[in-house]
Structure 1
Amino acid sequence: MKLILVALFSTLPSLTSSAACPDYSSFSAQRHEPLSTGKYALSYQRPLPECRTFNSSAVESTITRMTSPTVIADPDLARLFENTFPNTLDTAVRWHGHSATDPNEELTFVITGDINAMWLRDSANQLTSYQPLLPSSPSIASLFRGAINLQARYILTSPFCNSFQPPPESGIPPASNSAAATDSVFPSYNPSEVFECKFELDSLAAFLQVSTQYFHSSPSSTVDFFSNFHWAEAVSSLLHTAKSMLSPTYDPVTGAVLPSPYTFTRQTTRSTETLANNGACSPVGNGTGLIRSAFRPSDDATLFQLHVPANMMFAAQLTSAADIASAIGEDAMASEMRALAKAIRDGIEKYGTTHLSSRAPHSETAVETIYAYEVDGFGSAAVMDDANIPSLLSAPLFGYLSVNDAQYQRTRKRILTSHSLKSGGGNPYFMAGPVLSAVGGPHVGPGMAWPMALIVQIMTSEDEDEILGALKQILRSTDGLGLVHESVDAFNASHWTRQWFSWANGLFGQMILDLHARKPEILLCSFQ
């Protein structure tokens, strides 16, 4: 039987007010004709046009162009693109409107899929799929502006939180989160505004990411937008929050325990859902220049608080977003952002690496330097990677370094290797099986590989055999539903989690567009 991790929270209302429009949680768990004509016979998973949450002629034109046999030759691959690329617009734009206090301020509430809340990270990445359409599509540009404005409001309200309730203007009631009922969080928050308050550094980076994507689409015409609303105020709040999380656990002079700027505890049977040491998490050393993150991009608690991929993403996005601050006359803010980005980069290169032995049969042991997943500033390091972005594997995608960087390539090789004493080690969360061989993570657990990680593997590879192999795995992992799942049992394609996960679907569409731009010949291959 399939394992479907549907939210523990309230069921989503219908996508539209029409009684004819099914709830997509149910719709996406079933197969619908016409099936694709390939051997996988993939279901058609798009709602009727009147049931879609946002319609875009630019997206429809892209689908028509890309699914032509002269662009994507394989019928199953074409169907998977057809289902996945528009999934956020089809199902996850729960509301798009304007602020009650300023009719010119657009707002966009984007849900993750099966949970009726807006994560800063997920919503930013869901819109990233449509970034190429920004210059030519006013309606897509409007969605971006609305998401940036709403994220700015959230950050000004509760900068330590990661997931938020619908804005009052939407008329959508707050979602119930039974898991958060027992949470004890400092600083406190209003549950009518916040769905969950896990501090994740990458959530703040995501706000900068979606901002720079919109800005760079047409810099000259976006300056007024960033000047007219609350972007600069939100960045100021973001910088204050991030800098507060630079603090160590112990006073470097007296050795006394310092008050933690953020604490979180939850009554739970899962250790990854709460923080040790009365909510302060594991101790952090002084002077690394790295920012603490209590939780990972997977929403799981960090083992060591200095989460290297999140710091990488934050540094890269600070540098990009500093251009916006300069453009709107916030020169002091721009300088602060660039200085913080440099300090974080210096900290990553000095403290965010680890030295490991590499053993091969009948050879001497060699020592190599790679990036760690997490460190604590006392010398401890977690050597692993997780499928959720930002990950070490995804570092080139958010601009921290080049895919050809030698240390990245060493790290990439290590995290795409299953654990083996003979090889000198690997990634404990790399799952290898006949269905999928990909990075997973503790969020779902050992044995479950994440298609999202395979997509990132494709986007960070120039090796056509590696890319083709990963595409084949993704195609055979949908269990005929024609959507990208959260995770899939490496040994059983019918055992998976979350059939409706908009971010992963959008990322697949983004990857296909990327391949079309840099390796179009791959899309002309058959996977039959």
Structure 2
Amino acid sequence: MVVGCAQVFVSLLGQIGVVTCQSCPDYSSYSKTRHEPFSSGRYALSSARPPPLCRTFNSSALESLLSSVGDTIADPDLRRLFENTYPNTLDTAIKWHGFSSSNPDSEELTFIITGDINAMWLRDSANQLQSYLPLLSPSPDFNSLASLFRGAINLQARYLLTSPYCNSFQPPPESNLPPSPNPAADNDIVFPEYDPNKVFECKYELDSLASFLQLSTNYHEATHDSSFFSKFHWAKAAKTVLETAKNMTTPTLDPDTNRPLVPQPYTFTRKTTRSTETLANDGIGHPAAAGTGLVRSAFRPSDDSTTYQFLIPSNMLLCVYLASASLIAREINETSLADEMMAFSTPLRKAIQTHGIVSIPGDGENGTGERVYAYEVDGFGGYLLQDDANLPSLLSAAWFGYVSPFDPVYIGTRRRILSARNPYYSKGEVVGGVGSAHTGPGRVWPMSLVVRILTSEDDDEIKGALGELLGSTDGLGLVHESVDGWDAARWTREWFSWANGLFGGMILDLGRRKGGILGGSFQG
């Protein structure tokens, strides 16, 4: 794949010209190799941004921010890592930005790839844009950052109305980009069925539904542009999110007969050698109890199948953003929708607090027992004590606003997550943090260290995590998906746009909360 050159000129000038695609590097290859000038610190980090004319979206506000924040970062390696990572989505992942064929003069669309996979995930794209909220301001201009947000919301709405149980999608027809093959999905048996020319993968993930509401809230709170949400298909898509979530409160078993309910609203079976790529019980998954008030999720944010289908972090995210998005619905006079969203969000919080908190005997600081959030529960009394680095996670619950970082249950949960009591926590000579079943034990996801920093007020904890992040890039100057805790040269995904943007956003957050840390050195 060639990154961007033709799209650069569509985005910036409204026409194609000047630079040929042949002159722009394939960023997947480009990001695997080191490029001068190197940073002057101990890690000599590569310069990883593509040439300016090959960037997929250019923003003068972004360049100004990079310069001003860079001036506050004393450590040369940390400064380089920020300069490489924060613009990564705008530099490389805005694959297409244009208009809908239905409303060719007004309905913007934005197709955002994850990086090395040429498809648009609802969750990833929402988080990729979230990094640029500090730059977002109201603007009707098609070449503005606000237009990118509006285009992503519009395209996500289309996707949800097409296939609400799916998580990852193909380019829109208006882009003239070909659908990407997904060999892993060739033998999928999925209900409801989907069109592979529109859908890249159809793993039902509750966080995907919540991410649409999250992106909508992000845009609304930054711009106060309520009128946008009444123009096209937002209200209908929000209703679809709510209806789909309600459908997935359906239990597996009839509470009266204890026999499986037929049909289930969603089933998934894949021919695979990995148990996390399919669902047990012929696609139904592990049984989920009736009457909990929680919403099922067949897959995690990692795209791995759940063990128990009541995935607590995803329920938390939905709870938060149903409430915030209800304010949008109310402002555009969708009063009944707003009422329904709140009527679902409020008892959902109660359900999380009732079923998602478990007591661990003898696990407190003084051996007296401790109450913590479980990662997954089934409503029958089964629960899974772990966390996964992918967001939403239990660790991130304080960051996205479900719980206070000073809440005793969250504090106990966080302490457990960041220790050997979490089966997916590893501490190696290079880096320590939370990993994922997606990449296996012993591999740390730098994303988890970023979230650790975002949820900490402890200067020493923050400095330690920053130092490990700097040593985890293999000199390439980009945040990878996962890194071997003992060997930084063993990593996965050279081009993972979301994680890079999250790191950059974390640096901006530190600048507001802990500016003195950015003035320190990590060369020791």
Q: TM-score, normalised by structure 1?
A: 0.94
Alignment of 1:121 onto 2:116: no
Q: Secondary structure at the match of 1:493?
A: strand
> Structure 1 residue 364: deviation in Å?
6.8
Specify which of 436, 445, 456 is matched with residue 441 of structure 1. 436
Residue of structure 2 equivalent to 1:422 = none
Instruction: Work out the CA distance in 1 between the residues paired with 2:363 and 2:393.
Output: 25
Alignment of 1:239 onto 2:242: yes
Alignment of 1:486 onto 2:486: no
RMSD of Structure 2 on Structure 1 (CA): 1.1
Instruction: Work out the CA distance in 1 between the residues paired with 2:99 and 2:366.
Output: 65
Instruction: Work out the CA distance in 2 between the residues paired with 1:315 and 1:116.
Output: 30
Q: Secondary structure at the match of 2:348?
A: helix
Instruction: Work out the CA distance in 1 between the residues paired with 2:197 and 2:269.
Output: 19
User: Structure 2 vs 1, CA of residues 358 and 437 (structure 1 numbering), >3 Å: closer, same or farther?
Assistant: farther
* Percent identity over paired residues: 61
Instruction: Work out the CA distance in 1 between the residues paired with 2:314 and 2:87.
Output: 27
Instruction: Work out the CA distance in 2 between the residues paired with 1:161 and 1:520.
Output: 41
Q: Secondary structure at the match of 2:398?
A: coil
Which is further off, 130-139 or 259-268?
A: 130-139
Instruction: Work out the CA distance in 1 between the residues paired with 2:346 and 2:265.
Output: 23
Residue of structure 2 equivalent to 1:5 = none
> Structure 1 residue 251: deviation in Å?
1.4
Residue of structure 2 equivalent to 1:19 = 22
CA contact (8 A) 2:482 2:492 kept: yes
Residue of structure 2 equivalent to 1:192 = 197
Alignment of 1:97 onto 2:130: no
Map 1:210-225; keep pairs closer than 5 Å: 210-219=215-224, 222-225=225-228
Q: Secondary structure at the match of 1:174?
A: coil
Q: Secondary structure at the match of 1:496?
A: strand
Instruction: Work out the CA distance in 2 between the residues paired with 1:392 and 1:459.
Output: 13
Residue of structure 1 equivalent to 2:188 = 183
Alignment of 1:141 onto 2:133: no
> Structure 1 residue 359: deviation in Å?
5.2
CA contact (8 A) 2:311 2:375 kept: yes
> Structure 1 residue 499: deviation in Å?
1.3
Residue of structure 1 equivalent to 2:341 = 337
AA in 1 matched with 2:446:
P
CA contact (8 A) 1:15 1:22 kept: no
User: Structure 2 vs 1, CA of residues 364 and 202 (structure 1 numbering), >3 Å: closer, same or farther?
Assistant: closer
Q: TM-score, normalised by structure 2?
A: 0.95
Specify which of 452, 475, 499 is matched with residue 494 of structure 2. 499
> Structure 1 residue 160: deviation in Å?
0.2
Map 1:260-409; keep pairs closer than 5 Å: 260-358=264-362, 365-409=367-411
Instruction: Work out the CA distance in 2 between the residues paired with 1:192 and 1:482.
Output: 35
Q: Secondary structure at the match of 1:513?
A: helix
AA in 1 matched with 2:56:
T
AA in 2 matched with 1:212:
T
Residue of structure 2 equivalent to 1:37 = 40
How many residues are matched?
A: 504
Specify which of 500, 509, 513 is matched with residue 508 of structure 2. 513
User: Structure 2 vs 1, CA of residues 283 and 516 (structure 1 numbering), >3 Å: closer, same or farther?
Assistant: same
CA contact (8 A) 2:302 2:390 kept: yes
Structure 1: gaps of 5 or more residues: 1-11, 419-425
Structure 1 moving runs of 4+ over 6 Å: none
Structure 2: gaps of 5 or more residues: 7-20
> Structure 1 residue 218: deviation in Å?
2.4
> Structure 1 residue 114: deviation in Å?
0.1
Instruction: Work out the CA distance in 1 between the residues paired with 2:381 and 2:2.
Output: 49
Residue of structure 2 equivalent to 1:59 = 62
> Structure 1 residue 16: deviation in Å?
2.3
> Structure 1 residue 344: deviation in Å?
1.1
Residue of structure 2 equivalent to 1:73 = 74
Instruction: Work out the CA distance in 1 between the residues paired with 2:367 and 2:223.
Output: 52
AA in 2 matched with 1:319:
A
CA contact (8 A) 1:15 1:23 kept: no
Instruction: Work out the CA distance in 2 between the residues paired with 1:166 and 1:478.
Output: 30
> Structure 1 residue 253: deviation in Å?
2.3
> Structure 1 residue 165: deviation in Å?
0.1
CA contact (8 A) 2:48 2:84 kept: yes
> Structure 1 residue 217: deviation in Å?
1.0
Instruction: Work out the CA distance in 2 between the residues paired with 1:446 and 1:252.
Output: 37
> Structure 1 residue 264: deviation in Å?
0.3
